[in-house]
Structure 1
């Protein structure tokens, strides 16, 4: 994506199903779990570079000994920093106690991060302070083992204000307005209630206080706790948690907005935000990795029983299509095919834009996440050329000249890498004019390929959000090659609406498609629609969220998609540019053809999968109208 945006976080959980001695004997290390956790997190580094954290739980620890270990770090090297810290602890123990360090039970009794349940999190901050306190996992601590809660997740709730009020009504006093706090405290509240109910029952059954703790851990109804906790949540979420005695869970929202994959065998249960990282870390085939079903929680009891239980009635599945277009790693087999299909489906539009003039067109991509879509476009163009050659040769087989035959057979699409991002260049200069000049050099270009004023450049990007990088950098760089025309192609449809489920696209004014629609309304004497939408949004503030509509759709209704695309081309074209500029976008229909199992398209269509989404988009429009450069929801991710 030429306009880099932050997005949802990543999780990794490992539940060891054998004693630590088993892994020592089979794999030659008692640190099997922590080593695998490192792999799962490093392979998901794309999902969060603001910070990271890990936590582990040890089973059956004697009172007075630590059984929860946690460490968090900030910055793009947080994962490496965390595991370097852990490995230094292990190295120090190995040096000081060479004999004991070979004994898994001794390590568990004496060394942190040697537990049976391990949880990791990678953070991309979409709201609030980027501080160590914002990094997951979070702890809710108590002297009763079964009341401790470790929590980490990939989630945004749209109704934090409502959830906070519910906590107030329960008599709690949360320390901040953030969805992480509300989720932690909501689960914690019903965990406490479940503990109390089980305690009272055990007392009635004649158990001693010492015996009761074990009885609570054995009988804790995880599904019941999660069902009661999530009853009023509105958002997209994959949330992982561990209770202090060892029960663990991963829950996925009813619409399946956020991803969650798992693998289970007799040795381990593994959960991660992306499928290929599990395949890579554990060397297992594609078919062995499953998805957690929307509205279900994968629950691992301390005794090793693993079930998948429904905590909310599943809704129509609207899994995030942006996962497929951009965010998830392209090494996933299905995602790779889908991204290729996105590029291939754009070929009819691309060929029309260049008037089917293959000889005078150079096809390229804007690094680096659009590369797979580019391969799909290449495939589509090559298929067109073969069809064209076949049709012409069949039609004129009896009268074609040698020269015409040579010309026809020599048609060869020109696929080139024109832009290379200079990762070492940092635009640290603060003066606007100087910084603008530096921005234009973030990408290097390949000279000597495009013929002056003859060739058209077609450059595919996976998506276009703000268009600022195109305007400030890429178009200027491509124009230096002196093409007669530049066609920018987005493998995603026009991004028209904010996200509120984890992706950092929450301000209306950031979308070049919105800017184009507003511009067209003003040009064509339809500016009254802007005020009408504002008044409807304002009137909806006191409505129940189930009755609220997405009133912002009216901003786009007067225009065809092509009209908005043409206005986007005008907006992003710098005044000094010599080449003609055209912008093409994927259609919604083709998006759904390419990604049939990920129909969450609210950023393009405005059709939000939860009622809270409509409230957020209306609030975002009101913020734009009122000049407030803030998000339309609370979050701590």
Structure 2
């Protein structure tokens, strides 16, 4: 993606089912869990670079000894910082008495993070400041082990206001207004309630307080706690947590919007946001790794037993397709093939855009994440050209000369590395008056690759959201090659609607497709549609979210997708010499390429939860009223 779009976030979970001595004996290192956690976080760094954190719980510690450890960082290298902190005391002992580190029991008693349960997190901040308090895992502490809670996740709730008020109505005074605080406090409240219920029941049975504490750890109903806490949540979420006494969980929303995978055997339970990460770190075949089912939670009890339990009735499975297009690592077999297919399926539109002039077209991609779609595009171009050759050579009436045959046989796509991204420049660019001049140089080009005023230049990106970088930088530098026509290809459809489940795409005014539609309405004297949509949105502003309809769809209704694409090309042209065309993936082909992850609300406006409709209408109200703020 040529533009930086942030994602909310990545998690990693490890529960060792054997004592540390087992891992010292089998793998030669009691730090097996720490090392696996480090690898899983590093291999998910694509999911968040604003902060990182890790929490650890030790089982069955003596009173008076620390059993929960946590470290977090919001520096420019947060993962490095987190594990430097973890290894600092270990390295000190290694320097003074290395033999001690071979004693797993000594390590558990004396070393921070020498535990059996680990919860890691990587943060991209789409909401709130990037200060340390916003970095997960977040914690709720108590002197009762079974009331301690550490939570990390990948989530956005659309109804934070409602949930916040429910906490206030309980008599609480939440320390912040965010979905993170809300989720932590709602689970924490239900955890307190369950503890109290068990305490009262066990007290009546004549147990001592010490016996009650042990019984609560055994009998705590985590499924009930999670069901009660999440009853009114509206949004996309994967929440992972640890209770201080040793229970742990990974919970997923009812539509499976946000991704969560897990693996379990008799040694370990592992969870992560991406399958390929578990596959690589644990050296497993793909089929061994399972998705957490929508509406379910993987629950690991203190005694090491685990199960996948239904927490809420699952809805239609509408997993985020943007995960497949852009966010998740392309090393996953299915994701790699899906991205290639996206590039391949858009080829007929590309051929139309260059008027069939494949012999005068140069193909390239905008680095770095669109490279896989580029491979698929080239496969499609090659297949098309091969069919052309077969048709020409199979023509019985044609009498080709040797030179003509040579030209036919040797025809192939022209592929060049055109755009080169200079990542270091981004850190220097600020918001001053020279910004546009600097932005233009974030990318560079390979000169001499295009025949001036004769060739089409086709470049593929995985998505075009705002179009800002294309307009300010990429198209300007591509124009220096003097192509006849620049065709910008998006392997995903037009992004028309805000996301409210995790991706940093919250404002309609940011979307070039929305601005194109508004521009077309004004061009054609249909401004009354804008006013009507605003009126309808305002009429629903204070209705319960379940009664709200997405009226912003009416902004796009008068136009075909190609009309909007043409207007986008006009908006991005910016006075360059070459003709500009923009080609977007179709919704139909999106679902052909990605058949199992059908969440497409940012393309279609078909939100999986009622809160999404409320968010998109509020976003339109904000646009009309000139409010530059999020809609939820």
Whether TM-score is above 0.5 comes out as yes
Provide, for residues 141-162 of structure 1, a one-character-per-residue CA deviation record: whole Å limited to 9, x for no partner: 1111101000000000000011
1:228 corresponding residue in structure 2: 228
Counterparts of 2:433 and 2:180 in 1: how far apart (Å)? Answer: 41
TM-superposed deviation, 1:97? 4.0
2:624 maps to 1:625? yes
Higher mean Cα deviation, 469-478 or 391-400?
A: 391-400
Q: Which residue of 1 aligns with 2:181?
A: 181
User: Residues of 2 paired with 1:630 and 1:443: CA distance?
Assistant: 30
CA deviation string 1:140-195 (max 9, x = no partner): 01111101000000000000011011111211111221001110010011111110
Task: Tell whether the 8 Å contact from 1:427 to 1:439 is kept in structure 2 after alignment.
Answer: no
What TM-score, normalized by structure 1, do the two folds share?
0.98
Residue 245 (structure 1) aligns with: 245
Match of 2:423, SS state, is: coil
Q: Give the Å deviation of 1:403.
A: 2.4
Q: Using the alignment, how far apart are the partners of 2:362 and 2:517 within structure 1?
A: 31
CA contact (8 A) 2:429 2:439 kept: no
Shift of 1:75: 3.0
Quote the Cα distance in structure 2 between the aligned partners of 1:19 and 1:172: 39
CA shift digits 1:538-588 (9 cap, x unpaired): 11122111110011111100111111000000001111x110000000000
Distance 1:427 1:271 in 2: 33
Instruction: Please say which of residues 342-351 and 534-543 is displaced more in the overlay.
Output: 534-543
Go from structure 1 to structure 2 and tell me whether the alpha carbon gap of 1:395 and 1:32 turns closer, same or farther (over 3 Å shift). Answer: same
Alpha-carbon distance, 1:291 to partner: 0.3
* Runs of 4 or more consecutive aligned structure 1 residues displaced over 6 Å after TM superposition: none
2:55 aligned residue: 55
Residue 292 of structure 1, CA deviation: 0.3
Higher-RCO chain (CA-CA 8 Å, sequence separation at least 6): 1
* Residue 609 in structure 1 maps to residue 608 in structure 2: yes
- Once residues 543 and 349 of structure 1 are traced to their aligned partners in structure 2, the CA distance between those partners, rounded to angstroms, is 42
Aligned-partner Cα distance in 2 for 1:620–1:96: 60
CA-CA distance at 1:433 after TM superposition: 4.8
Give the secondary structure class of the aligned counterpart of 1:578: coil
Task: Indicate the SS of the match to 1:459.
Answer: strand
Q: Give the deviation of 1:397 after TM superposition.
A: 6.5
CA displacement at 1:622 relative to structure 2:
0.8
The aligned counterpart of 1:551 is: 551
Q: Which runs of 5+ in 1 are unaligned?
A: none
CA contact (8 A) 1:194 1:220 kept: yes
Contact 1:427–1:438 under 8 Å retained in 2: no
Q: Residue in 2 aligned with 1:598?
A: 597
Q: Aligned residue for 1:254?
A: 254
Contact kept, 8 Å, 1:427 with 1:435, in 2: the verdict is no
Please state how far the C-alpha of 1:430 moved relative to its aligned partner.
4.7
Q: CA deviation at 1:228?
A: 0.5
CA–CA separation in structure 1 for the residues paired with 2:429 and 2:259 = 39
Quote the offset at 1:368 in angstroms: 0.5
- Residue pair 1:274, 1:328 contacting (<8 A) in 2 also: yes
Using the alignment, how far apart are the partners of 2:456 and 2:385 within structure 1?
17
Q: What is the alpha-carbon distance in structure 2 between the residues aligned to residue 344 and residue 34 of structure 1?
A: 42
| DSSP-derived class of the 1:570 partner | helix
Deviation of the 1:202 alpha carbon? 1.0
Q: Under a length normalisation based on structure 2, what TM-score does the superposition of the two structures give?
A: 0.99
Do the aligned partners of 1:358 and 1:411 also contact (CA within 8 Å) in 2? no
1:478 corresponds in structure 2 to 478
Q: Deviations over 1:569-624 (max 9, x none)?
A: 0001111x110000000000000000001100000000000000000001111111
2:465 match: 465
2:369 equivalent to 1:372: no
The Cα shift of 1:535 comes to: 1.2
1:582 is paired with a residue of what secondary structure?
strand
- Equivalent pair of 1:45/1:122 in contact (CA under 8 Å): yes
Moved more, 352-361 or 323-332: 352-361
Quote how far apart the aligned CAs of 1:435 are: 2.2
User: Which residue of the partner structure matches residue 141 of structure 1?
Assistant: 141
Contact 1:428–1:435 (CA under 8 A) maintained in structure 2: no
Quickly say closer, same or farther: Cα 1:290–1:430, change in 2 above 3 A. Answer: closer
Is 1:24 matched with 2:20? no
Q: Output the CA distance in 1 between the equivalents of 2:75 and 2:559.
A: 43
TM-superposed deviation, 1:88: 1.5
User: Match of 2:163?
Assistant: 163
Aligned to 1:190: 190
Q: CA offset at residue 95 of structure 1? A: 3.0
* Counterpart-to-counterpart distance in 2, 1:429 and 1:152: 32
Does the C-alpha gap of structure 1 residues 227 and 430 become closer, same or farther in structure 2, counting only changes over 3 Å?
A: closer
Confirm or deny that 1:450 pairs with 2:471. Answer: no
Moved more, 291-300 or 543-552: 543-552
Report the alpha carbon displacement of residue 431 of structure 1 after superposing the two structures with TM.
7.0
Residue pairs, 1:71-82, within 5 angstroms: 71-82=71-82
